[in-house]
Chains A and B, each alone.
Chain A
Amino acid sequence: MVNGYKPGSLQEALDIRSRTDAIPYAGGTDLMVRNQKGAVYLFLNDIEALKQITDDGDMIRIGAAVTFTRALENDLVPPLMKEALSQIAAPAIRNAGTFGGNLGNASDKADSVLAALALDGRVRLASAGGERTVRIEDFFVKRGETILRDDELIVEVLLPKSRCSLPFYYQKLGGRNALAISRVAFAGVYDVQDGVIRSISVAVIGEGKFTRYREAEAALIGRTAEEVKENAAACADSFIRNMTFTRGRVSAEYRRTVVRNLLTDYLTSLG
């Protein structure tokens, strides 16, 4: 027996959210496993407003209840995001799992969150009283904790169009070829014009958090791809220095080595 609310509109959902402790439920792929006794859920999968993928001119907007399968079928979703989504779990999970759920579950191994982070993504949150839009890295506090307030819901993920069509680098390492949590994942987006780096992003799974390395990234801007390539190991080091890897299913040394290798490969492949 499962108890819950099944609102038909976002307004109704926010209203329920503001006055109850019901747990937001989109795809349920993590909540079903958790199977918390006596839980009351706020089912969001009937709300059309949360299931849209749109282009507002500046941003690709992906609703919180959009499933990974739907996103993979949609032409607006950028290639880096699709690459990440296509390696999440298995078809049955992708058919149910959502962008909002991947964020709200507050796992430090969320593959769609990593891709959004590398794309300078934002997340729009709403409550009955108002709304706010924050950067991905500011949304995520630590494993199991985000800034989402008790009265808020995740509405959509925003991906700047200026980043969406740029070349990218992505690699996920799980324990096997499917149904595998990322032990390490790496995502990067870069813009090189006339041999000069205009913008570059680096995002990794393996640190127990979602963060960007703004200083190290900024230090590369304006340099030539050729120069970075020649000094790839040193450039990689400027990122690695700021990273602290967690140990768990694999060791921190494994994570550090793989991220270093991939970073070096990434910096060698620019342009």
Chain B
Amino acid sequence: MKEISRSIKKKDHDNKIEGRSVYVDDYPLTASGKRILCGKLIHAAYAKARVLSVTLPPLPEGYTYVDRNDVPGDNNVNIVLDDTPVFCRETVEYIGEPIGMLVGPEEAVVDELLAGVKVEYDQIEPMLDLRNGTEAFFDYHFGHGDVDRAFAEADKVYEEEFLTGYQDQTYLEPQGMMAEPEEDGRMFVHGSLQCPYYVHGAVARALGTGPEGVHILQDVTGGGFGGKEDFPSILGCQVAVAAHKTGQPVRCVYNRREDLEFTPKRHPSLCRYKLAVKDGRVTALEADVRFDAGAYSTLSAVVLQRGIIAAPGIYHIPNVRVTGKAIKTNTVPCGAYRGFGAPQTFFAIEMMMNHVAQDLGVDSITFKQQHFAKQGDMTSTQGRYHFPVPIPAMLDEVDALCALRRKHQAYSLPQTGRFRRGIGFSAIFHGAGFTGSGERDIIKATAKLRKYADGTVEVLASNGDIGQGVRTTFPKIVSHELNLPLEKVRYEHPDTARVPDSGPTVASRSLMTVGELLRRAAIRLRDIWQDGVEQEVEEHYKEPDFVIPFYLDRFEGDAYPTYAWSVSAVEVEVDTYTGRVQILGAYGSFDVGTPVDENIVLGQMEGGFLQGLGYASIEKMQYDEKGRIRNNSFTDYLVPTAMDVPKLIARLHVEEYPDGPYGAKGAGELPLVGPPPAYLEAVEMALGGMKRHRLNRIPYSAEDVILELNKEVP
């Protein structure tokens, strides 16, 4: 283990454990002692409707209604495209879309007024169904080789459909933002968020001030998992408009029901996969990937890109054709959640490979192994796997942990009796960093170190700590290079008035990309270090030389400079009387490169694994025939509890990345992606395998097990 990997106490540990961290909902007054107005949103009651009128109850003095007519700048929130409104336009496009905001000093009074608001609608037939949706926000096509010929020459062609559901991030702290007009005329917006500069751009545009007219601070944030990547830009604009109109600080914090029902989640997906097999090898893949984007495009472009790039999984398939569509539906806009499109397609390809192997009469582990990509192979986008692919060794490690290969064969034999067992495995990658050329062409990250006269050093970057530990690991890197005690290096919550734009807190790019900039900056600072004076060093992102430039219009080139890898295995016992699936063990080998803090990384692996298991089994969220999400409380949207944590063993396998700090790659998404197909393969095996039960969707609940068994021909 490298010195840098040694675990240390997180910088925010004491404050969080002792309950001293101040979240956006905790401020009794603003820092300057001003009263904070409470803002609450009027949410649309129909999935698609023309808003004819909004009738307010008589508003007492000090209470204000805010809607799109109050937006001083542009009523379009800048995310990837600009189609999401700050407040609704003439029509509402999903249940929950914000129509306006009521603002005032007393929450109870605002609640009462809210109950008295009458909205008159002219309902329009909504489009809810992903399968039948025809309007695509994004429609991508790419591929390579001669797919048609490969299918024509195939011994056998397989076609199958795969479905995945919503998943909500269920961060501990719900969404919340606050805006404060400042003396100098600037608007100060802060709250629970991941990407200060995203919010900065959006608020400046909504207020029409230009970038210098606003600044954004990340408050202590109680988890994000992607859910606070785009949404704080929308809520940030809403509170900023309200603060602009009233001239007073305004805060809006979602309650859990609003948060579960109306904020972004993982895209439900429908994947149609077609594989050609010749001489026992997969020769071609045709993948038709549909993601349910919801009513506005928000982050769907980038989520879909990551999803379809992973369509062939980690397999080397010579002929590939991929279509990806983000379908507009009149449902809540979907956004980012750990994995960002990849869990859906990896689920599809992993299950597809299992099913093809079973049909060919080959153990799926062997079959997959015959197709593993290796260093130098072409990626789905005609880039290269530039570095070693350690999957075979990781598979051996997982095999050693749980006798994967032996059990995989043993449990594949016919089973009788009430309790039946299965074991499943998956092998996946996470493309490290931002997809495509975004890092080079769009983000252009800058990070700074400021050394003060007293010899302390401050990290200036825009990456938010959302539990992943960048407030600890950034200073750890800098103190390591400067040979300073950790206490002398600090990283405060970023405020765009003080820090350069080092890009968003997404895609596990913070440590790999910005961490490397800080490492280089620290080395330069060390070289010019002078005691007793203030010094500043700045570093800019430069794409590594080996990278094959990526062209988004053709999906050609290196979509990622390198990859993190994982092998997951899940062993289950199914109770055929009740459908209950007990997880006997969950095992993973994870290559995130060099861990910059071993405990943090292992915590990420275990937590992500559990989220993956929840996604695969109990986390069920659906909308009804009107388009309303019914599972809007923790009674109805079940996530794993401490009692649902199985025996879970996570091991690290280090394949260093030369352009990441000390060899580090991305860690965040990786552990969530692999467990769902491993889980479902295990359940399918316990039910008697594909010959009796072919499973193709998650979440797969105890009820699904029973209904599937009811189909069994005696």
Q: Which residues of A contact B (CB under 8 A)?
A: 90, 171, 173, 175-181, 183-184, 249-251, 253-254, 257-258, 261-262, 265
Contact = CB atoms under 8 A, between A and B. Distances in A.
Specify the main secondary structure of chain A where it touches its partner. Answer: loop
A54 to B, nearest CB: 33
Contact of A176 (B576, B636, B641, B703): B641
B577 interface: yes
Given A181-B635, A249-B636, A265-B577, A257 B706 contact: yes
Given A251-B707, A253-B707, A254-B707, A184 B636 contact: no
A262 B579 CA distance: 12
A253 B708 CA distance: 11
A262 B707 contact: no
Given A173-B580, A261-B578, 13 more contacts: A90-B641, A173-B578, A173-B579, A175-B618, A176-B618, A176-B640, A178-B641, A178-B642, A181-B635, A184-B578, A254-B706, A254-B707, A258-B577
Interface string B698-713: 0001110011011000
B531 interface: no
B401 interface: no
Q: Would you list the 7 A-B pairs with minimal beta carbon distance, nearest first?
A: A178-B643, A261-B577, A177-B643, A254-B703, A175-B638, A178-B641, A250-B703
A262 B703 contact: no
Contacts of A251: 703, 707
Contacts of B703: 183, 250-251, 254
B90 interface: no
B644 interface: yes
Contact of B706 (A90, A177, A258): A258
Nearest to A261: B577
Interface of B: 418, 576-580, 618, 634-636, 638, 640-644, 701-703, 706-707, 709-710
Nearest to B614: A176
Contacts of B636: 249
Contacts of B618: 175-176
Contacts of A90: 641, 643
6 contacts: A175-B618, A175-B701, A177-B644, A178-B641, A183-B703, A253-B710
Of the listed residues B636, B642, B644, B702, the one surrounded by the most CB atoms of chain A closer than 10 A to its CB is B702
A249 B635 CA distance: 10
Nearest to A260: B577
Contacts of A249: 636
A249 B710 CA distance: 19
B644 to A, nearest CB: 5
Contacts of A261: 576-578
A177 to B, nearest CB: 4
Nearest to B640: A176
Nearest to B112: A37
Contacts of B634: 179
A261 B419 CA distance: 13
Given A176-B618, A249-B636, A251-B707, A258 B579 contact: yes
B641 A179 contact: yes
A254 B641 CA distance: 23
Contacts of B644: 176-178
A258 B638 contact: no
B707 A176 contact: no
A176 B706 contact: no
Given A180-B638, A251-B703, A254-B703, A262 B643 contact: no
A254 B638 contact: no
A79 B641 CA distance: 26
A83 B682 CA distance: 30
A261 B14 CA distance: 51
Contacts of A178: 641-644
A184 B706 CA distance: 13
A177 B641 CA distance: 7
A186 B641 CA distance: 23
Of the listed residues A171, A176, A184, the one surrounded by the most CB atoms of chain B closer than 10 A to its CB is A176
Nearest to B576: A261
A177 B640 CA distance: 8
B294 to A, nearest CB: 24
A262 B706 CA distance: 13
A47 B701 CA distance: 44
A249 B577 CA distance: 19
Of the listed residues B576, B579, B710, the one surrounded by the most CB atoms of chain A closer than 10 A to its CB is B579
A176 B643 contact: yes
Contacts of B640: 176
